[in-house]
Amino acid sequence: MGRTSQGIFETNETPTLFHPAFVLLNLAYFLVFSNVALFYLYPVALDEMGAGKHTIGWVMGVFSLAAVLSRPLMGVIAARRGEFLLMSGGMVVMLTASVCYPFLGSVGAAMLGVRVAHGLGFSGFVAGSFSAVALLFPGERRAAAYSIVGASLMSAMALAPPVGEFLIGRFGFGALFLCACGLILLAWASVTGAAGSAGKAERPRSRRGAPYSRLLGDGSFLLLLTSTLIFAHCQSTLLNFLALAAEQRDAPAGPFFFMAFATAIAVLLTMGRIIDRKGKRRFLRLFYPVFALGLILLPPFLGGLGQWMPALLFGLGLGFLFPAHNALAAGYGGRDEKAGVMALFTAVYDSGFISGAVVSGWIAALLGLDGLFYATGGLALLGLVVCLGAPIREGGG
d(CA 303, CA 255): 9
Yes or no: say if 155 and 269 are a contact pair by the CB < 8 Å rule: no
DSSP per position, 254-280: HHHHHHHHHHHHHHHHHSHHHHHHH-H
Specify the DSSP element, H or E, that contains 105.
none
d(CA 152, CA 156): 6
d(CA 124, CA 133): 14
The sign of the dihedral angle between the CA atoms of 247, 252, 258, 259 is: negative
Burial class of residue 192, CB neighbours in 10 A (0-12, 13-18, 19+): middle
Domains plus CATH for the chain? 1-138+161-206 (1.20.1250.20), 211-397 (1.20.1250.20)
Yes or no: say if 227 and 387 are a contact pair by the CB < 8 Å rule: yes
Amino acid at 78: A
Amino acid at 285: R
What pLDDT is stored for residue 170 in this prediction?
92
What pLDDT is stored for residue 46 in this prediction?
85
d(CA 203, CA 339): 12
Yes or no: say if 339 and 78 are a contact pair by the CB < 8 Å rule: yes
For 11-28, b/e burial (b = at least 16 CB within 10 A) is: eeeebeeebebbbbbbbb
What pLDDT is stored for residue 397 in this prediction?
60
Per-residue pLDDT tens listing for the chain (397 residues): 333 334 444 445 667 888 888 999 999 999 999 999 998 888 888 888 887 767 877 888 889 889 999 999 999 898 888 899 999 999 999 999 999 999 998 889 999 999 999 999 999 999 999 999 988 888 788 999 999 999 999 999 888 888 888 998 899 999 999 999 999 999 999 999 988 876 543 344 555 555 777 877 888 889 999 999 999 999 988 887 887 788 788 887 778 888 998 999 999 999 999 999 988 889 999 999 999 999 999 999 988 888 899 999 999 999 999 999 999 998 888 877 888 889 999 999 999 988 887 888 888 889 998 999 999 999 999 999 988 876 776 655 6
